[in-house]
Chains A and B, each alone.
Chain A
């Protein structure tokens, strides 16, 4: 039902279906129907169904065989007329029928072409609509996955914030070294749970076969995992099983997949 729907429109519908509505009333109702009022459309269909009953209440009459034949010939699949039909008919009346026959055949052919064109056009429209539907479906899927990613990101940030602000968590700052002077990092360690989260920013992009690797150093370096950075040089990592007595946190550049021991340039380091 559209916003402008009133019972007055409903009262106009029977006369409209009958074709008796005219003038301002007709224009008003047509404008209202053009707004797509579902209720009026539903009711109009019901009135049209009632009118079908009135229409069908007349005494049926069988069409003449000639009428039936003409209709079915015109709608039969296009066939070549027999060559004999090309011969002029001798009698006047037959000649006239022959001409009419030719006119009918030409009209029939035109109708067949026309209807096939219509069907082809309809198929094209259907194909276009299907394409449009598929495009929209892909768009929806892509928007859904974007939304899922954003939701996951928000959840992760909420978790991280909860972690960082929980009691007993210590923060360690990592400073950019010579290889990445603009970089900075933070490790938040919860010693009780032996967990840490690490954030870095300002790290340069790496070659595809390289990765950043985070280390915590007790009496020797232990890998805390590898991470990559986004376009703006940000990366993060969640660490489980942080050892007691960590003195230093550091980040090095390593071959893709990481290394058991640091081998590459150190880009970030900070004292616990």
Chain B
């Protein structure tokens, strides 16, 4: 990362090759459409390139930093998106949410195991807790918006998120 901050193109190519598949997966998960996801992926990596000097190694891993840039950009775009267009794409969204996307053949076993651990940790949450966390994380919704979407009391949503996140942490810790 420090080499990237100094403008090292080779280091940046390696960064791209290492983290772009999961970043694209995240963008696709949030945005639904592949073309748009690839477009935002370019923006994310150009942002990473220009703001490499802002990366704080104490605060996040390079992957974590890239993924947070990606999530933030994707959610911005999601919020700006036309509501009608969103409805049109709901069918595509569902496919993405069900994980119907081309997996990467060369994905490292370690990464896959890590992902399986997170899936099993998410599986330990109640479906309601999981839904609330996913709506916040992948759809960028606030407490109130989640409550409206699920037609649930605000306090219930808040406690589902708090309990769910704590349970998730425990599950992640015990699995690793």
Contacts and interface: CB of A to CB of B under 8 A. Distances in A.
Contact of B161 (A15, A59, A70): A15
B118 A57 contact: yes
B12 A75 contact: yes
Interface string B46-63: 100111110000011101
14 contacts: A15-B162, A20-B141, A52-B67, A55-B71, A56-B22, A57-B115, A57-B122, A58-B22, A60-B103, A63-B38, A67-B38, A68-B20, A72-B13, A118-B51
A74 B46 contact: yes
B124 interface: no
B48 to A, nearest CB: 9
A217 B29 CA distance: 102
B21 A118 contact: no
A78 B103 CA distance: 34
Contacts of A118: 50-51, 53
A61 B158 contact: no
Nearest to B135: A20
Interface stretch (A108-116, A175-183, A187-195): A108-116
Interface of B: 5-7, 9, 12-13, 16-17, 20-22, 24-26, 28-29, 34, 37-38, 41-42, 45-46, 49-53, 59-61, 63-64, 67-68, 70-71, 75, 99, 101-104, 107, 111, 114-115, 118-119, 121-122, 133, 136-137, 140-144, 146, 158, 161-162, 165-166, 168-169, 172
A19 B141 CA distance: 8
Given A15-B161, A50-B168, A111-B49, A59 B143 contact: no
Contact of B52 (A18, A56, A62, A115): A115
Given A15-B143, A60-B21, A62-B102, A75 B46 contact: yes
A11 interface: yes
Contacts of A149: none
A11 B37 CA distance: 33
B59 to A, nearest CB: 6
A76 interface: yes
A264 B41 CA distance: 91
A17 B41 CA distance: 22
A67 B39 CA distance: 8
A242 interface: no
Given A52-B64, A62-B20, 10 more contacts: A14-B162, A20-B142, A49-B61, A50-B168, A56-B63, A60-B104, A67-B42, A71-B42, A75-B45, A111-B49
Contacts of A70: 42
Interface residues of A, number: 46
A60 B9 contact: no
Contacts of B52: 115
Nearest to B105: A62
Contact of A75 (B9, B51, B144): B9
Given A51-B137, A61-B25, A64-B38, A45 B59 contact: yes
Contact of A119 (B7, B121, B140, B172): B7
Given A118-B50, A119-B5, A119-B6, A52 B61 contact: yes
A15 B164 CA distance: 10
Given A49-B64, A57-B122, A74 B49 contact: yes
Contact of B122 (A54, A112, A119, A122): A54
A219 interface: no
A101 to B, nearest CB: 15
